[in-house]
Amino acid sequence: MKIGLLQLNPTIGDFAANREKLLSAYAQAVARGAEFILAPELFLCGYPPRDLLQRPDFIDANLASLAETAAQTGAVPLCVGFVDKNSEPPGRALKNSAAVLQNGKIIWRTTKSLLPTYDVFDEDRYFEPAKKVEPFVFNGR
């Protein structure tokens, strides 16, 4: 399997520019024969978003960007990091997540389980960790 690793630098809070940068790199990786493409953690909103995570409009823009990005994907899957809402209270309201996008849809989601708690990486302050981790199976692998 040929995996495309997108080493990109997002701008925190610039959803449109991050999406444009991501989709351009995605197209290049597809053109180079990648069969599965991975983008960085929390790429759509930029990392680390810190206290922007306390703004509902920021979270909504992040989720809208995920849907818009998914709509522009083709047959080659793209895995990208984003902020998801936690629908299983109690716990923190948000999750540091990744989604696999393919053929215009979100086909799989997962949540980070091991959250760092040092320096600028105070993720435990904002995110609820995954309670269990399940692998993504692609083409039987």
Q: Does residue 132 lie within any of the structural domains?
A: no
Instruction: Give the model's pLDDT for residue 118.
Output: 87
Q: Which helix (H) or strand (E) holds 4?
A: strand 3-5
Burial track 51-88 (b if 16+ CB lie within 10 A, e otherwise)? ebbeeeebbebbbebbeebbeebeebbbbbbbbbeeee
CATH number for the domain harbouring residue 105: 3.60.110.10
Give this prediction's pTM: 0.94
Instruction: Give the model's pLDDT for residue 38.
Output: 98
Q: Does residue 137 lie within any of the structural domains?
A: no
Q: How many domains does the chain have?
A: 1
Phi, then psi, of 82 in degrees rounded to 5: -155, 170
Instruction: Give the model's pLDDT for residue 121.
Output: 84
Give the sign of the dihedral formed by CA 83, CA 84, CA 85, CA 89.
negative
Would you give per-residue pLDDT tens digits along the chain (141 residues)? 999 999 999 999 999 999 999 999 999 999 999 999 999 999 999 999 999 999 999 999 999 999 999 999 999 999 999 999 999 888 999 999 999 999 999 999 999 999 999 887 889 999 999 999 999 998 887
Q: Does residue 78 lie within any of the structural domains?
A: yes
Instruction: Give the model's pLDDT for residue 120.
Output: 76
Residue with tokens 């209270």: 89
Six token digits for residue 45 = 């909103």
Q: Does residue 134 lie within any of the structural domains?
A: no
Q: Does residue 88 lie within any of the structural domains?
A: yes
Range of the domain at 84: 3-125
Instruction: Give the model's pLDDT for residue 11.
Output: 98
